[in-house]
Amino acid sequence: MITEEIKTTIEKYDKIIVHRHANPDPDALGSQRAIALSLRKTFPNKTILMAGNSVGDLNWLSEMDNVTEEDYQGSLVIVVDTANTPRISGEDYDKGDFLIKIDHHPDNDQYGDLRYVLEHASSCSEIMFDLLQSWNFVIDEEVANAIYAGIVGDTGRFMYDSTSAHTFAIASHLMELKADLPRINQRLSEVTLQQAKLQSSVYDYLQIDDSGAAWAIITQADLQKLGVTTEQAHAVVSTPGRLKGVVSWVIAVEKQAPETGFRIHYRSKGPVINTLAMKHDGGGHMLASGANAADEQEVQTIVSELIEVVKNYK
Ligand code: AMP
C-alpha cells in the first residue's frame, strides 16, 4: 500500500525536509507543520526541517526553518498541498534523495517518487491527520492545532461542499486532543481595519453580469490608498460570495513591482472554474482556483471566459 511505502520511506531517512506551496494559506502551513512536528516528536533523533518563503501574516501559525542547500544532501523531501512543481516554495526541493508528494488538488502534475493524492479530501490537513493516525505517529495538542487550522482554512469554516462527515469526525478528534478552537477560529477570521475597508470597497469595484458572473480588479494604487499589502488583499477573495445572485467570481489583484500583471483568484458556487484557471498559468480545485494574467487585457479575457461558463451552467 502506498501509505505504508511512505511510512517505510520516512523511517529510513535521518533528514526530512517538508515543503508546501508559495503564497501559503492555512492548509499549506497547517499540513506542513503537522507532519513536521509529528515527525520530530515521533523520531527525536531525526532532523526535520520546514522549508519555504515568507509566511506573511500567518506567522502566528507557523515559521520556517533556515534551510540551506547542503541540508538536502541525503535527505527525504516531502511536499504537501502543492499541485505542481512551479508552485513549490523553496527552490531546492529537488535536491534531496527522494521526493514524496502529499496533496488534495487534481493530480495534473505527477511529480515525485511517491505520490499520495486524494482529490476529494477537504484539505491536505485532513489527509495528514489520517496518515499520522494510521502510522501511529504522535498527534498531540500542537499537531492538532496545526491540522485544525488547515481544515478550517480550506473548508471556509466547514462551509464548502468538500466538507464531509469524515471532516467533522476529524474535527471531533481534534477537540478531544484539546485543539484550541476559539483561538484558531478567531485568528483565522480576524482582519485588520484596513483589510475590512478593502472588503467593503470591493462591493464598489465589483461588476456583476446578468448571468451571475462577477469580477473586481484591485490595483496597487487601491491597496496603497488603504494601506493593505498585496498578501493581505487575499482577505477579500471570498467576499463577493456573500451576495445573492453571484454565482462565480474572479478577483484580480495587481502584483507588486518588480512583478507585473495580476494574480487571479477564481471562486464558484457551482460552475467548474479550475479548467479556466488552467488556461492562464494556474489551477486548483473545481470551485476555488488561482491563476496569473500578464495584463489587463488578459484579465478581460478571463472575465469573458467566466461569463461564458456561468451562462452555460445556468
Ligand atoms: P487562491 O485563490 O490563491 O486562494 O488559490 C485557490 C486554490 O487554487 C488553492 O488551492 C491554491 O493552491 C490553488 N492555486 C492558486 N494558484 C495556483 C496556480 N498558479 N497553479 C495551481 N494552483 C493554484
Is the pLDDT assigned to residue 165 strictly greater than 90? yes
CA of residue 283 to ligand 1 center, whole Å: 6
User: How many residues appear in the chain?
Assistant: 314
CA of residue 302 to ligand 1 center, whole Å: 15
Q: What percent of the chain has pLDDT over 70?
A: 100
**CB distance 122 to ligand 1 below 6 Å:** no
Q: Are 184 and 145 in contact (CB under 8 A)?
A: yes
**Quick one: which of 32, 291, 54 has its CA closest to 150?**
32
52: left (phi over 0), alpha (psi -120 to 50) or beta: left
**CB distance 280 to ligand 1 below 6 Å:** no
Is the pLDDT assigned to residue 170 strictly greater than 80? yes
Distant-in-sequence, close-in-space partners of 238: CB < 8 Å, separation ≥ 6: 156, 267
Is the pLDDT assigned to residue 314 strictly greater than 90? no
Q: Are 277 and 263 in contact (CB under 8 A)?
A: no
114 grid coordinates = 511517491
CA of residue 94 to ligand 1 center, whole Å: 21
Global pTM?
Answer: 0.94
From 31, 80, 87, 107, the mutation candidate for ligand 1 (largest count of ligand atoms within 8 A of CB) is: 87
**CB distance 290 to ligand 1 below 6 Å:** yes
Q: What is the pLDDT of residues 195-216, one digit of tens each?
A: 999 999 999 999 999 999 999 9
Q: Are 254 and 219 in contact (CB under 8 A)?
A: yes
Tell me the sheet residues that pair with 102: 80, 116
Is the pLDDT assigned to residue 283 strictly greater than 90? yes
Going by alpha carbons, the residue nearest to atom 19 of ligand 1 is: 282
CA of residue 236 to ligand 1 center, whole Å: 15
Side chain identity, residue 279: K
Side chain identity, residue 188: L
Give CA angle at 29 (25, 30), nearest 5°: 110
Average pLDDT over residues 157-164: 94
